[in-house]
Amino acid sequence: MEHKKIYLAGPEVFLEDAVQLAERKKAICAAHGLRGLFPLDAGLDLSGLAPQAAGLAIYEANIALIEAADACIANVTPFRGPSLDPGTAYEIGHMRGLGKPVFAYSNAPEHFAERTRLYCAASGERDAEGLLIEDFGLTDNLMIDGAVMRAGPGIEIDKSGQGWHGLKAFEICVRRAAEFLATV
């Protein structure tokens, strides 16, 4: 029997130990009867390609992995600002557009509004430019939380303080994904 496939979205691809972290995540998936698909799995040879061509090759490879997956687990930990990685946001949207479930986790315990206020040095409901700060008590932008809530209870939070390498919330998402996919 073939294992259900889970696309592992998130900015971990930028870490120095991305491959090792991916292997840890895939092992957790396997322990729950799932097969993790990590963006670096395509094994692309980008040598000799111009930067734009290399970027597009990575895009095409990731789209193929997303479309081959039965669900997605996304790391929505804030990336270079108060919100998640924009590539991960796109991957979440692509999965939802395909009608596939998305499970997500964050290793940042603060709500989106709190992080935004800190990032913008704002104390009220608007930032210095007069723009309203989205404050719905959610983990990230309402469209991200909404996409995740379609498949379950919402975004799981890891408060262990392990940053990018914390996997407690990830493992909860894997368990939820396995339980959900066993019913479809």
**pTM for this model (two decimals):** 0.95
Give the pLDDT band (50/70/90) at residue 1. low
DSSP H or E segment with residue 75: strand 71-75
* DSSP sequence for 83-123: S--HHHHHHHHHHHHTT--EEEEES--S-HHHHHHHHHT--
Domain 4-181 has CATH 3.40.50.450: yes
Q: At a CB cut-off of 8 Å and minimum separation 6, what does 52 contact?
A: none
Ranges of each domain in the chain: 4-181
Q: What is the pLDDT of residues 8-59, one digit of tens each?
A: 999 999 999 999 999 999 999 999 999 999 999 988 999 999 999 999 999 9
